[in-house]
Amino acid sequence: MLNLKESAVVVVAGEAVSTVDQLMASYVAQLRFSAEALDGLRGSGIPIVNARSLRTTLLEGQIAGGESLTKMESAIAKLQAIQARSNQAEVANGCAAPWGREWFVSAATDNVPTAAVAPQMQNQH
């Protein structure tokens, strides 16, 4: 059994919530910026082929932002798996993310629900 301090588990859980919230806010801002930048090109007379580089860069940024969230989900799942094998398995430290503990059921990512399932899970709390 792993020996974790309860205070550390609580602090890490709080930081996980804060980090996911900040990453999500950043991702939403990035999506808004992309939409505004593309909307700003409308009616400008710039040929669509000349705007391709901007569209590609914006899309790459959106993909990277989504991948960052996915990596954080995986890291939190691994942390929860560690806690489950520790002396702090029974510590109720709240939801690790807005979607609840069910979102991160194990360190394996092959059975993690998709984003479309997350809102349904939120209603289960």
Tally of domains in the chain: 1
* pLDDT at position 62: 95
Domain encompassing residue 40: 6-122
What is the DSSP-derived secondary structure letter of residue 101? G
Is 54 a member of any domain?
yes
Is 81 a member of any domain?
yes
pLDDT tens by residue, 32-91 = 999 999 999 998 999 888 899 999 999 999 999 999 999 999 999 999 899 889 998 877
Does this model's pTM top 0.85? My answer is no
Is 99 a member of any domain?
yes
Backbone angles phi, psi at 25, to 5 degrees: -60, -40
Is 1 a member of any domain?
no
Question: What span, in angstroms and rounded, lies between the C-alpha atoms of 102 and 99?
Answer: 8
Question: What span, in angstroms and rounded, lies between the C-alpha atoms of 29 and 111?
Answer: 29
Is 29 a member of any domain?
yes
Structure confidence at residue 6 as a pLDDT band (50, 70, 90): confident
Is 34 a member of any domain?
yes
Estimate the share of the chain in helix, then strand, then coil, as percent rounded to the nearest 5. Answer: 60, 0, 35
